[in-house]
Structure 1
Amino acid sequence: MAKQRLPLCAIYGGTFDPIHYGHLKSVEALAKLAALHQVTIMPNNVPPHRPQPEASSQQRKEMVELAIAGNPLFRLDARELQRSTPSYTVETLEQIRAEHGPEQPLAFVIGQDSLLSLHHWHRWEALTGLCHLLVCQRPGYAIAMDNADQQRWLDSHLTSHVNDLHSAPGGKVFLAQTPPYDISATVIRQRLENNLPCDDLVPAPVLEFIHLHHLYRSVPEAK
């Protein structure tokens, strides 16, 4: 009797400050391309490689919950928000790998921008020993890596076969041909600060939460 194959677990980490349609629609497209049944959204607390979030950990958690409510594709993992130290992806993935065991196919979702800067991540070369990397397209970013060594690393891990992601615990990089949604949290925060509409960029419950808590607004100077 053939051994039953374990389902691929996919994790999508990020600041989500705030979560927006660029996040959600990219991963929904990726799920169809990579045959994902569920994606775990994992907000980080203190990202080492990016500016610190403007919204609090609790506010970003609540915005994610509002954004994914009623969508069975997504679930939330808030473990990184409980940390007071920088969130290193490799350490979190080591923890998740220990929880699931060595045979569980595991994938981490990143954007094309993150792939190009991956060599700056803490212990980045250990990532593919823990999981696959599923890469969503980002508009305006190069297809090739910055130098020959990084490109050789990428070429040695690339796969275009979805079955490779489901049949092995990790080790592959899958460049998904997702639509390049031109939406960024930076632009959204700038629009909100200038009282410009964001209805087409952010789910309505998230936008209501942002307005209710007066997030991403400049503080008026004291007179």
Structure 2
Amino acid sequence: MSELHALFGGTFDPIHYGHLRPVEALAQQVELKRVTLLPNNVPPHRPQPEASAAQRVDMLRCAIKQQPLFEIDTRELQRDTPSWTVTTLEALRAERGNQQPLGFIIGQDSLLTVAKWHRWQALLSLCHLLVCKRPGYAANMDSPEMQRWLEQHLTHDVRQLHQRSAGCIWLAETPLYDISATEIRQRRHQNQPCDDLLPAAVIAYIDHAGLYRD
């Protein structure tokens, strides 16, 4: 079997356990050796980050220092245009060739709205979608057409993720962490503790940089 390479994009403003722990559980399930974190520059569907690009990358470095599973790819931060997933995947596919199995990790909330993504129909020609559960989100797609699309591509066989370069959807049995970066920023603005929500090294960086303060 080829080694499946997985990618995980996000604003990471800041990175927290709701990002890290489900992905670690997913890695165990589908035998991932490496997950590439892709910090977004201009998120297409949400407000601009509070922390700068450099600060968000620094926080990622703090979070993964003791975690050999993770690496960082900053290519999306070099762009001034929106971070379209499909554009990044096309670039990675060109670099890594057509035979390399690639997985893109998303949350269940993103799967349910995938039809709103830029050129979403091209995604499964470029990668597998590896989906982590999210608290409070529906299990089914919102239309019969999208539900059929999901069922056509769904796999329960880990080997297919390693044998095929793209085209499968894997619904992972990952732990649910009801944590959001918005909640962390709000807590920080209100001088409330966040010790249980993100790694101590990231909290130390936030304190040192004076982030998320009024």
Normalised to the residue count of structure 2, the TM-score between the two structures is: 0.98
Give the drift of 1:213: 1.5
Question: Equivalent of 1:154, from 146, 150, 155?
Answer: 150
Other-structure match for 1:34: 30
CA RMSD of aligned residues (A): 0.8
Question: Equivalent of 2:121, from 109, 118, 125?
Answer: 125
> Secondary structure of 1:139's partner?
coil
Give the drift of 1:49: 1.2
Question: Equivalent of 2:130, from 134, 138, 146?
Answer: 134
Q: Aligned pair 1:98/2:121, yes or no? A: no
Give the drift of 1:6: 2.5
Q: Deviation string for 1:163-183 (max 9, x for gaps)?
A: 110000000000001011111
Q: How does 1:75-114 map to 2 (within 5 A)?
A: 75-114=71-110
- Stretches of structure 2 lacking an aligned partner (at least 5 in a row): none
Alpha carbons 1:49, 1:121 under 8 Å: kept = no
Q: What code does the residue aligned with 1:92 have?
A: T
C-alpha separation between the residues in 2 aligned to 1:51 and 1:117?
17
Give the drift of 1:50: 1.6
Other-structure match for 1:176: 172
Q: Deviation string for 1:148-201 (max 9, x for gaps)?
A: 111111111111111110000000000001011111111111111111000110
Other-structure match for 1:197: 193
Normalised to the residue count of structure 1, the TM-score between the two structures is: 0.94
Give the drift of 1:68: 0.3
- Stretches of structure 1 lacking an aligned partner (at least 5 in a row): 219-223
Give the drift of 1:208: 1.0
Q: How many residues align?
A: 214
> Secondary structure of 1:42's partner?
strand
C-alpha separation between the residues in 1 aligned to 2:79 and 2:57?
13
Alpha carbons 1:40, 1:74 under 8 Å: kept = yes
Other-structure match for 2:21: 25
C-alpha separation between the residues in 2 aligned to 1:138 and 1:214?
30
